[in-house]
Amino acid sequence: MNDTFLKACRGEKTEYTPIWIMRQAGRYLPQYQKVRGKVDFLTLCKTPELAAEVTIQPIDILKVDAAILFSDILIPVEAMGMDLEFHEKKGPVLSPALRDEGTVKKLSVPDPEDKMKFVMDTIRLLRKELAGRVPLIGFSGAPFTTATYMIEGSTSKNFLNTKRMIFQSPDLYRSLMDKITATVTEYLKAQIKAGAQAVQLFDTWGGIFSPQDFRDYALSYVKKVITELKTWQHSEKIPPVPIIYFVGETAGLLEEIKTSGADVHGIDWRINLDDAIKRIGSNAIVQGNLDPIALFLPQNKIEQRVKDILGRASSAQGHIFNLGHGVLPETPPDNVIALVEMVHNYSRK
């Protein structure tokens, strides 16, 4: 029974610093590619036995301290009524892209146990198969990052359509965000009921905003999700499930991010972890923050960076080691295995 990760999320003392890695199940692992070679990505997400299998791969191979549900942040968008496809080169494509009242009105707030039952089935299966070996993290896209894919229809560089809707049709944006926020809230409740022991909100694109706009157009909806989840857990007498909030390009936004209400804050690599902790406050519980591409360094250089991050984290109330963003498909798996070992060894008191 390894509950080091959950202890760190709660700010309790741990024997060593726990580590998991964003996108730890994925194409850099030959074992993942073997499963993925048989089915397309969406089929993999929708087949609980296969999704559970690739979720557990990094626990066996890397010896990380937490499992993260294998799925995608765009699964709830499909459940809301949009068409979702994953293309080898282009990445995700959602259609028709949301640009007017008509398309937004057609979206529903889905019942997760109906429209996304395969996710909850995967969680239930995983809790059985993991049998307490490590805790299971559930997740959702944060409302804003989810909205960017719906409005742009795909990945974007400058998010023109999204910002144009925000600045030119603010009422339309709010009506869309209300639907996404309700969807995300119900989706995370269902994941927790199915057995998720922590949840992470991914706000990958939050860093495209000025602090004021971030607060108004992204963070306000995250706060709603978190407040609702906490109130619901309290009223249902569900033991508190740690909530992690990850924002890409964190540095300019920390004074805003720290008001999110989340238990743990994900930090990217563009800021020193001790600076981030200072700005969040001494009771900060942080997750991060190695540059994913630092995993292409020779192992003795990775080691220096691990020691540096562990040292900088010492002023925090809690630290969960992670990358500052997802692991890249080209990453040498041996370096990821070595990273986990280093974090465990050098943090042991």
Query: Does the annotation count 305 as an active-site position?
Result: no
Site for ligand CP3 in 146-165 (CB under 6 A): 155
- Given candidates 139, 159, 214, 245, which one binds ligand CP3 under the rule CB under 6 A? 139
If one asks whether residue 326 binds ligand CP3 (CB under 6 A), the answer comes out as yes
Q: CA-to-CA distance for 235 and 238, rounded, in angstroms?
A: 8
Q: Do the beta carbons of residue 40 and residue 47 sit within 8 Å?
A: no
**Stretch 275-314: interaction string toward ligand CP3, x if CB under 6 A:** ----------------------------------------
Smallest separation, CB 231 to ligand CP3 (Å): 25
CA angle, 228 then 273 then 242, to 5°: 25
Q: CA-to-CA distance for 336 and 59, rounded, in angstroms?
A: 12
DSSP secondary structure code for residue 15 in this structure: S
Identity of the amino acid at 38: K
Q: CA-to-CA distance for 92 and 307, rounded, in angstroms?
A: 37
Query: Does the annotation count 127 as an active-site position?
Result: no
Q: Do the beta carbons of residue 195 and residue 206 sit within 8 Å?
A: no
Smallest separation, CB 156 to ligand CP3 (Å): 10
**Helical packing angle, 117-130 and 170-194, nearest 10°:** 40
Q: CA-to-CA distance for 102 and 85, rounded, in angstroms?
A: 22
Query: Does the annotation count 36 as an active-site position?
Result: yes
Smallest separation, CB 22 to ligand CP3 (Å): 5
- C-beta closer to ligand CP3: residue 103 or 204: 204
Catalytic member of 3, 28, 32, 36: 36
What tokens appear for 117 in the block? 């039952």
Site for ligand CP3 in 29-68 (CB under 6 A): 36, 41, 68
- Given candidates 72, 129, 216, 303, which one binds ligand CP3 under the rule CB under 6 A? 72
Phi and psi torsions of 35, nearest 5°: -70, -45
Query: Does the annotation count 149 as an active-site position?
Result: yes
Smallest separation, CB 59 to ligand CP3 (Å): 11
Q: Do the beta carbons of residue 32 and residue 38 sit within 8 Å?
A: no
Catalytic member of 23, 124, 279, 305: 23
Smallest separation, CB 282 to ligand CP3 (Å): 29
- Given candidates 5, 70, 217, 245, which one binds ligand CP3 under the rule CB under 6 A? 70
Query: Does the annotation count 27 as an active-site position?
Result: yes
- C-beta closer to ligand CP3: residue 246 or 312: 246
Closest-CA residue to 221 (of 174, 189, 256): 174
If one asks whether residue 207 binds ligand CP3 (CB under 6 A), the answer comes out as no
- C-beta closer to ligand CP3: residue 91 or 96: 91
Q: Could you tell me the sign of the dihedral formed by the alpha carbons of 235, 240, 241, 244, in that order? A: positive
Strands 67-68, 198-203: pairing kind: unpaired
Catalytic positions, written as ranges? 23, 27, 36, 72, 149
Q: Which residues sit at the interface with ligand CP3, rule CB under 6 A?
A: 22-27, 36, 41, 68, 70-74, 86, 91-92, 139, 155, 202, 204, 326
